[in-house]
Each structure stands twice: as structure tokens, then as C-alpha cells.
Chain A
Amino acid sequence: DQQVKQNSPSLSVQEGRISILNCDYTNSMFDYFLWYKKYPAEGPTFLISISSIKDKNEDGRFTVFLNKSAKHLSLHIVPSQPGDSAVYFCAAWDNAGNMLTFGGGTRLMVKP
């Protein structure tokens, strides 16, 4: 049973345009959400997070939106750059279990 799902395995975007990566979850106990970025041959690196008490968090070109009623979050990258090409993982923090549950990842390709 996948509690965190990223339904798009890949996304291709032109440089300078917006990239939107989506994530859905099922567990109402999740109260903190994170996005990680992973380059080949490297471990995932933290990108941005959002608490369940907020609906938006912004950090430079990256914005995460949370819709609690829909159990949906999204990551917006504006403008997209070729260096953003990587696999992006959505993750949810379960306070009861004190651990992260990850989605399957979305491979973003930003074309010059």
C-alpha cells in the first residue's frame, strides 16, 4: 500500500518555463512534507519542506503548495533550468513513526 504517490514518472520541460511536480498521500497522520532532489550516483538532497499548518512555502525558484483536503502537494520550479534535471522525491513525515515515507520519484528533464 503506497501511502505517498508520485503518478508521473517523468516530466520534460523547456528551459525558462515552469515545472510542476505532483504528489498525493493517503495517511492523515502525515504532518510535514519534504521534497528531495537526487542526481545520479548521489544521495537525495533536501530541497524544500512544508508543515501541514501552511498551504504554501517559497524558497527562491522553488515553491511547494499543500492542499490538505485533497491530500495533495506540488512543487513548482520557476524558471526551470537545465541544472534542475534530476529525480525529485516527495516525502511525508509520520510523527507517530518518526520517519519519512517516500514517493516513487519523478524524473525531471529541463531542455535548453
Chain B
Amino acid sequence: EAGVAQSPRYKIIEKRQSVAFWCNPISGHATLYWYQQILGQGPKLLIQFQNNGVVDDSQLPKDRFSAERLKGVDSTLKIQPAKLEDSAVYLCASSPSRGYTFGSGTRLTVV
């Protein structure tokens, strides 16, 4: 079974620039999650999709973050404009039921 694919692996941008991350979940997993993990902290949920519908985006900073999951498969997470405090690892996970499979993450550095 192929895992959760994420790209890019690393990204360095200047503050106020925009950036996008891509995630391809495990085939057949209806639920997809984006998490933000700041160094030294646990992953924090940003948004949860069930198929292509949003289930929970209460912790997504909607003034600068957006996410979509077209056709209930791949998902993109965008930040525009980026701030220094957005420097973190962005993890995508998919799940058939309880428990997740994570991708390798995208490490974002905002300078």
C-alpha cells in the first residue's frame, strides 16, 4: 500500500510571500487532515476533510490559510501571505477509521 505523499519536502520563503503544499492520501481513505507542527510542540489540527467536504476548520487561520480537496482525493493547503510564525512542519494524514497514516511533511521556513 502506497503511503501518504506530500510535496515539497522543504520550502523557504520570505514573509508576505505565498506558498502551497500538496497531499495525496492513501487510496480509499475518505478522511484527510492537515496538521501544523511547530518545533517542540505536538501536531495541531488545521483542517479535516471528509471526502471533499470540510468537517472541521475551526483552528485554520482563515485570513491567510486556505485548503481544498477537489474530487475527494488530493488536497492543497495554501498560505497567503506568510508570516514568520508560520514556520513549521505541515503534516498531511489520511484515515479510514481510527488512527492516521501521516505523510513525511513539508518543512516551511519563513524568513
Contact = CB atoms under 8 A, between A and B. Distances in A.
Given A43-B103, A46-B101, A98-B31, A104 B42 contact: yes
B41 A105 contact: yes
B104 A43 contact: yes
B40 interface: yes
B98 A44 contact: no
A93 interface: yes
B105 interface: yes
Given A43-B103, A93-B99, A99 B42 contact: no
Interface size class of B (residues with CB under 8 A): 20 to 34
- State the main secondary structure of chain A at its contact with B: strand
B4 interface: yes
Nearest to B33: A99
Q: Interface SS of chain B: helix, strand, loop or mixed?
A: strand
A85 B4 CA distance: 24
A36 B44 CA distance: 14
Contact of A99 (B4, B45, B101, B107): B45
Given A41-B104, A98-B31, A4 B98 contact: no
Nearest to A9: B40
Nearest to A45: B102
Contacts of A4: 42
Interface residues of A, number: 24
Interface string B8-41: 0100000000000000000000010101000011
B91 interface: yes
B56 A46 contact: no
Interface of B: 4, 6, 9, 31, 33, 35, 40-45, 48, 50, 55-56, 91, 93, 98-105, 107
10 contacts: A6-B42, A9-B40, A43-B6, A43-B93, A43-B104, A44-B102, A45-B102, A49-B99, A93-B99, A99-B45
